[in-house]
Every structure is written in C-alpha cells, then in structure tokens.
Structure 1
C-alpha cells in the first residue's frame, strides 16, 4: 500500500522531475565526455604526428579513441601524388583486399568524386556497381563510409575515410568534429611531408658536403666556426705543435690574410694562397646572403695545391733545363771538332818528342787538358739529355762520379776541398739517373754558395754514400754559413731562397725534393748557423709504385 508521502510526490510530479533531471544530467555528462574525447583525439593528432610515427600507428591511436564515441571499424588515408590517388595509411592492416601504396582508379570512383567535388561524403554502401569501391566495401563487411577531403591552403591533398560495419546516424556536430579532425590530419601530414623533404635535402647536402675531400666550413661574421665538412673536421681535430690547435692556427692565418673581412666588405668572392703545415692551399671565401640581401656568414673553401705547385715548378725547371740542354749540346758538338784536332795533334807530337825534352811536358799538359775538356763535354751532354725520364737500374756512386766530373774541377778551383767517401758495396737502385744527378748538382751548388759566403780559411764539402735499412743514402755536408732553424721547413718551398736575387731562384731544393719524393725517397736536413749544413738523401733499394 502506498503511503501518503509517496502519493503526494506522484500527484505533484516530484518523482517525474527527478527522473528527468537525472536523465538530462546523464546526457550532459555523456556529451561532456564525448567532447573531452574529441579534444583528446585532436590533441593526440597534434602531438603524436611526427616523422618517426607511421601512418598505421597514428590511425590505430585515433581509431581506439574514436571507438569510445562512434562505432567506427576502419580508418584509411589517401594522398594525391603526381596526379594519382594513393593509399598511404590503413587500420586495421590485416585485410587482404586493401594494400598500402595501391592507387585508386579514377573512373567510377567514389573517392575521386569527393576529390573533384571538394566536399565530405556520408555514403551508405549499396549492392549496386555504381562505384568501383562497392565491391571492396562489401568484402570488408562495411555498411557506411564517411569520406572527408584533406585541405591545405584551399587545395585538396588527399582523403580521410572512416568506415563502419553498421549504419550510424551522425549529427551535424559529429560531422563538424570529424571535419575538424580531418583538417588537423591534413595539416599534420603536410607538415610531416614538408619535413621529410627538408630532411632529405639536408641529408643529401650533408652527404655531398662531407664527400668533398677539400676543406669546407662555414664561419660567422666574427670568424666563429659554425659548421664544417668531414675533411675539415678531421683537419681541425689533428694535434698541432706549441699547444695550439690546427683550427686556431688556421684562423690566425685567415685573419692575417684579411680573407673574411674583405669578403664581407666587398660582398664578393675573395681568394688567397696560404701556406700551412708545409702545404700550399688555395683558399676562397664566399659570402652567404639572407632574404634581405645581408651577409650573415661566409663559406670558406680550402684546396691543397702543394702537388700542383711542385709540378709547376718542375715544369718551369724542366723548361729551363731543356733550353740549357739544347744550348749545351750545340756548344759541345761545336767544341768536339777542335778538341779532336787538339788531342790528335798533341798525341802525334808526343810520339815525336823525347820525354827528356822540355816541350814534352808542355805537350803532355795540352793533351791532359784536352782529355779533361772532352770528359766535361761528355758529362754535359749526358746531363743535358732531357728526352724521357725513364726509370731503370743504376748506381748512385756512378751518379756522384758523373756530377763530380762535371763540376768537381770548378769546386777545387774555388779553393773548396772535396772529400769523397763512396760505399763500394752499394746496391743498384731503380730510378732515373739524370734526375738524381740533377739533385746532386743542386746540393753541391748550394754547398758551394754557402762556403763562398763564409769566412772560413778551410772550406770543405764531404760527399758520402752508404747502404742502411733498405735504403741507399747520399750525404752532402759542408762547413759553410748554415741555415737558421726557423727556415728549415721553408727551404724546400718553391721560390724560397736565402741567396741574393742575382744568385738564386728558389727552385733548386724544391725541384730536388719533388724528384726524391717521386723516387719514393726522402730528403733530410741538419744545419746549424755558423757550423754548416748536411743534406741526406734516402732512396729505397726497391722502389714502391707511387
């Protein structure tokens, strides 16, 4: 039996009002939860869409959230690439009827119709063949498909599709939310695509930048290093003397040369030649401009041209030697005829004159001087032959003897005592005898010049050979003026000389250094000011291919 209170509540509608209130409250809470989920989905798309996340993972995350508010079973993304509509994302991915990368045919296509009409489609799947997609929808068991165009700057870049296995009545608010979701996916996918393009270009540029063997680096307007390619980084990383880094030494040289300052001031490419660590570099500075045509950095490009400089010097020296050789050959041939007469006639007279006769010694002197002249001419002809520098087996001792036969007499005439200490057990070496003779002449001439500049009473040159540790060694030592220690690294550089302008060109030692290196050997210097210099040439018995 109903008590009075309950009967009064029913009569005045209190119970009914409570039920309506709770029903509306539940609906409001449900709508708020729905809105929260929608915001979460939009927020997740914004946060989670990055270059490392695949489309499938993104669609999976979105679908799991969407299922809380809509009975959606399948999501897919399509993008327009070079005029083709291509499937770029699917979830779930288990279907054998749809595959990633597949291109949608344009004829009788529902998807293409959405692209052309540029508006969303809420499509209820039918059994007709009106669209080519119907057959696939049927195989997947889909009843309803929502398709939204993806817009970027008013341009359709693709489609976002949501499919269900049952028919759903979507409100306008639902459609608006799904369109917002599609717009956010469009922006995110386009940003990811642009980022990939930038990343690809960046990687390609960095690979190209690093593949260059020459040194390339970017500096700011204050000379601070911003970026460098691998070759430059390796160069900077190597240790240097005096506690300084190579980078520090290089930037000091750049500052001295005012390379970057001039580049910024003139707004043009500037070049210099720098010498660093026994090497020559062609250095170029290129200004880098911003959108407002202002310079904000400078690209510095360094190319090692040491070998090029050495080749140029050798070519110059070879040209000079060739000219001298032609002249010497002509003079030698002209002298050979009168020398033949002198030698022949002196021999005839020597046979007719008795050895006790005073004139005999005069004739003997004429004959010996003629023989010496003939040997000098023969050595000059041998040295001047510049046809081909062919490598072959030869004796270093023979090369020394040939050179001494050419200039030994001159040295003795200048009151220079020659001491020759040749190792008779010296093995043959592979190389070009004429080039090695040229090196020996250069060393002897330098030793002579150093002795003539000194005030020593006894001027001495010691030439010695020996075999040690797989190398044959030639040493030319003098007791002349010596070379300051700070110049030891510079004397092998092209055009560097300590002699007066009229005495030297600065090419002799540079050419000699290049010749010895081409033979797989090395040339070393020991010198002290006031005591003299010693040059040692080391040539391998077995020459390595270079």
Structure 2
C-alpha cells in the first residue's frame, strides 16, 4: 500500500519523468564523450602510425575500424597529387570504382579537381543513373547515394582529396563534418612529413650508395683526425695490400688533413708505396651552414696506371724524336762509311793473306759491313718499313757477333765461352735483328763484369733446342740485378749506367724485336752472383712479318 502511494506521488510530482530525462541526457553525454575520445584516439594514432616504411593503405586500415564506430560510411577513397597529376592511390573496399588504383584523373569536368583547386568541401547526392558518372567516363559503386569530397591541404600546399561514400541519404552532422575537416588537416601534415622524410631518407640513401660505390678510397675525419666513416674501397685496399701499406697511407693523409683543418684550405699530395703503386691524396674541409669547419674529407685515388701511361707517352715521344734523328745520322754516316769500305776493299786486294795486316783489314771491312746494316736498319726504323724475314742460323748469328766484339773483350780481360748445339734447325727471322739482340745482351754482360774487381770474368753463350723453340742464353758472373728492378729493366730509358754510357734502350728494343719474332726474353739474376738472359725464338715463323720498332 505504501509503495502504491510512493508511485502515485512520483507520477503526480513528475519525478519519474525527470529520472528518465536525466538518464537519457546522461547517456547522450557519455556517447558524445566516447565519440570525442574516439576522435582524439583516431587523430593520435593517425599521427603515430605514419612511418617511413608504412604505406597509405596500412594507415587507412589502422583508422578505418575506429572511424566506422563514429561515422557511418560504405566507401572511402584517397586521391594524391603527384606533380601536376591527381592519382587514385587507395580505395576501400577495393574494386569500388571502374578505374584502377594508379589512374590519373583528367582535369576537365572533374569533381575532385574542382574540390582541390577551390579548396571546398562538396557533398554530392547520386539519385539518378547518370549521376553515377561522377567523373568523365568513370563511375562509382551503383549502390552509393551520397559522396562527401574533402580537400587535403597542408597550409597552402595541395596534397590530395579524401572521398567518403554512403549507400543512403543520411544527413551529415556539423560535428562529423568538423571532425573530418580536422582529420584531413592532420592527414595532410602527416603525409607531407612522410614525403619530406622519405625525400631526406632517399637522398641520404643515394649518397651512401654513391659513397660506397666509388672505386677510390674516401675517408671522413672529425676535427681531431679520427676516422668517422669510410667507403668499401678502403676494405678492398686492406684486403689486397699489406697492413704496413695502409698504415703508411693513413699517416700521410692524416698529416695532410690536419693541415687542411688548420689552414681551412684544400690539400694535395702524391705518394709512392713500396709496392710500386702511386696514389693521389686530396683533402677538403667540411663546413656547416655557418661556414665553421667541423671535419675533413680525404679522397685517395690510385694513379699507378695513369702515371705509367704518362711515362709511356713521354717515352713514345722520345722514341719518335730518336727515329727522326736516326734518319739524319744514318745519312751523315753513309759518306764516311763508303770511303772506309771502299779503301779497305782496295787494301785487301793488294795485300797478301799471309800478311799480319790482312786480318786487321778484314776486320775493318766486316765492321764496315756491320755498320752498313745498322745504318740500313736505322733508315728502315725511321721510315717504319717492314723487315723481310728469311731462313737463317742462330749459331751463325752468334759467330758474326763474336767476330765483331772479340777484340773488345780481350782488352777487358773477359773470357767468352760458347756452347752451341750443332745442327740447330734454321729459323725464319731477320738475322740482323737477331744479331742486334745478341749484341745488346753481350754488351750488358760486359758492363756488369767491368764493375767487378775479381780477375776471373766470364761470359757463357749457349744455345739449346726445346720443343718448337730455340733458346740462346747469355750468362755472366757479374754484379747481378736487384730483385725489385727485374720488372723495370725492359722499360724504355731505364738504366743504371753513368750518363753517356747508356740510353736505357737496349733491352726495351731487344724485347720488342723478340716479340715481333714470336719470342721473348727471360731473365734470372742474383746480386753479386750474375745474371742469365735467355732469348726464346720459335722454330717456325711466318715470313714478311713486321718487326716492332
């Protein structure tokens, strides 16, 4: 009975009605707070979810589930401005458009271009069939009835367009529109930041890739000359060379870099390592925006081959000059040589073979003939003509040379010992050129012996037959050649003789002649024990082959 009275009083006073209104308003307020919290959560996650390695698809998927809880939509698409093109980059659900992701929208008659150019929000209702063609030749899902298109701007910079579609005509609330506009602002800032970050990242990546790919060594040093960074070429150098080579290089470039840092100017130095390699060291100061030097870049380039090429060009120029001089000298020598040969022949005719002077006259004539052949070779050299090959004997070539040189060796108390294989097969060659090689090798052996103080000075000349090859060896027991010079002795103008006693051309010319005959020259030597030079010639050789000058 008492409860009935309380109910009656509540109805009469309106208390029950107030409770219902209170709870209704309270629920509405709680829902609004939840919606605001969800909006803030979406904004927060949107700002945190954009990463350098995250695509727009991933970002949209991260916010769609929560976005559906506060805003009803059936389709969402994103158009990004790339240069001067508006491109469909993302759409959910997929295949909601007749156009594919990546399609560039034409400007004429475009709803999306209108939105981004005028920076205005457009709500379009799709009530008729023809309204489905929201773009020229493109249509959206036929079930959509309204689309909301919002421009995405970062300050005054155009970023793209966000399009949200619904399958009904539900009105958009002011709060939803305000939230979506706020969302596009955050979306624009995030996208622009990611784009800028990616540009910086890609520039940094390109620089690092270029830095690593450079074949020359690059170091970056701080102001205390500590190595902060270096490229892959440094590891290659360390792998291919001894550690002391790298330590020498490091010592040199740090001294140069320290001068660059101290005097604030570039530096340059060229150094030669003990492995016969040459390097250019260049240093450049590193400045910040305030032009304050905070480090040094060291650039190291291997110029070994470049220097060799330069030396070869210099040598080639010298050889060209020698060729021109040779022609003039040859013509000048022809006149006195003609008189020497003519007079020696006249004296030989009037002399008795038993006369002691006959042998001397015969030597004069032979030497004159030899000089005549040399002059002929000089003229041929200056004209760069071809030497004609013919059948000749290696043993005969050696004997001819010894006949010309034997008196020189007697005066120097040098014994010539020969060991020539009998019945060696003939070869196809230019005998005068083969004799020239033998002369050069024997005279070099003589020079090596002249520097010795012992009395037993000997030169051994041997021939031997190998498979398809003939070897001519000239061996001496002289001063020998240092090991580090063995790779240089065939280079043009390389000589250790005093000025006026050698040009450094003998062995370089000899190796050229040998190679032109299809052969080569080997050398073995030990300091203070002597040297062996071996001329290798093939038995078979085509005729009329041009000899290298």
Shorter-normalised TM range: 0.7 to 0.9
Q: 1:515 to 1:37 in 2, by over 3 A?
A: farther
The structural deviation recorded for 1:332 is 4.2
Aligned match of 2:257 in 260, 263, 268? 260
1:60 aligns to what?
61
Q: Is the 8 A contact 2:75 2:165 kept in 1?
A: yes
Once the two structures are superposed, residues 417-460 of structure 1 have per-residue CA deviations (whole angstroms, 9 ceiling, x without a partner) of 34455677989999999998887666555544332222122223
Name the counterpart of 2:159.
157
For the residue of structure 1 that corresponds to 2:266, the secondary structure is coil
1:334-413 mapped onto 2 (5 Å cutoff) = 334-350=335-351, 353=352, 360-379=355-374, 381-382=376-377, 385-386=380-381, 387-388=383-384, 397=394, 401=398, 410=408, 413=411
Gaps of 5+ in 1: none
Give the C-alpha shift of residue 83 in structure 1. 2.5
Alpha-carbon distance in structure 2 between the residues aligned to 1:538 and 1:47: 79
TM-superposition CA deviations, 1:189-248 (whole Å, max 9, x none) = 334434554555556666666666x5242332526262325xx2563242434xx16543
Q: Which residue does the alignment assign to 1:106?
A: 107
**Contact 1:443 1:476 survives alignment (8 Å):** yes
Report the more deviating stretch, 171-180 or 485-494.
485-494
Tell me the distance in 2 between the aligned counterparts of 1:421 and 1:505: 30
1:133 counterpart (132, 135, 157): 135
C-alpha change, 1:474 and 1:341, in structure 2 (3 Å) is closer
Name the counterpart of 1:298.
297
What's the CA shift for 1:104? 2.3
Indicate the residue corresponding to 1:76 in structure 2: 77
State how many pairs are aligned.
Answer: 529
Question: Residue 122 of structure 2 corresponds to which residue in structure 1?
Answer: 121
Alignment partner for residue 532 of structure 1, among 501, 525, 530? 530
Q: In structure 1, what is the equivalent of residue 414 of structure 2?
A: 416
Q: Does 1:142 align with 2:144?
A: yes
1:141–1:381: structure 2 CA closer, same or farther, 3 Å change rule? same
Conserved? CA contact 2:97–2:140, under 8 Å:
no
Look up the match of 1:251.
Answer: 250
> In the alignment, is the contact (CA less than 8 A) between 1:383 and 1:434 conserved in 2?
no
Q: Which 10-residue stretch deviates more, 194-203 or 511-520?
A: 511-520
Contact 1:263 1:270 in 2 (8 A): no
User: 2:545 maps to which residue?
Assistant: none
For residues 188 and 32 of structure 1, the distance between their equivalents in structure 2, rounded to whole angstroms, comes to 25
- Classify 1:454/1:97 alpha carbon distance in 2 versus 1 (closer, same or farther; 3 Å): same
Q: Answer whether contact 1:390 1:432 (CA < 8 A) is retained.
A: no
- Aligned with 1:220: secondary structure? strand
2:227 to 224, 229, 232: 224
Deviation, 1:302, is 1.0
Pick which of 80-89 and 411-420 moved more.
Answer: 411-420
Provide the rounded CA distance (Å) in 2 between the counterparts of 1:453 and 1:389: 39
1:454 aligns with 2:452: yes
Q: CA deviation at 1:298?
A: 1.7
**Higher deviation after alignment, 31-40 or 426-435:** 426-435
Task: Identify the range of structure 1 (219-228 vs 459-468) with the bigger mean alpha-carbon deviation.
Answer: 459-468
Q: Is 1:177 matched up with 2:171?
A: no
**Take 2:427 and 2:496, find their aligned partners in 1: how far apart are those partners?**
33
2:544 matched to which residue of 1?
A: none
Which structure 2 segments of 5+ residues have no match? Answer: 542-549
CA distance in 2, matches of 1:14, 1:399: 143
Q: 1:406 to 1:366 in 2, by over 3 A?
A: closer
C-alpha distance in structure 1 between counterparts of 2:431 and 2:290, whole Å: 64
Question: What TM-score, normalized to structure 1?
Answer: 0.76
CA distance in structure 1 between the aligned counterparts of 2:428 and 2:538, rounded to whole angstroms: 8
Deviation per residue, 1:9-30 (Å, 9 max, x gap) = 6566665555445444544443
The Cα RMSD (Å) is 4.7
Shift of 1:87: 2.0
Q: CA deviation at 1:158?
A: 1.9
- Residue 337 of structure 1 and its aligned partner are, at CA, apart by 1.3
Report Cα offsets for 1:498-517 as digits up to 9, x if no partner: 55556567777788889999
Closer/same/farther in 2, CA of residues 121 and 210 from structure 1, 3 Å limit? same
Distance in 2 between the 1:431 and 1:32 partners? 107
Distance in 2 between the 1:432 and 1:176 partners? 101
Deviations 1:475-516 (A, max 9, x none): 554333344556667767887765555656777778888999
TM-score using structure 2 length: 0.76
Conserved in 2, the CA contact under 8 Å of 1:262 and 1:270? no
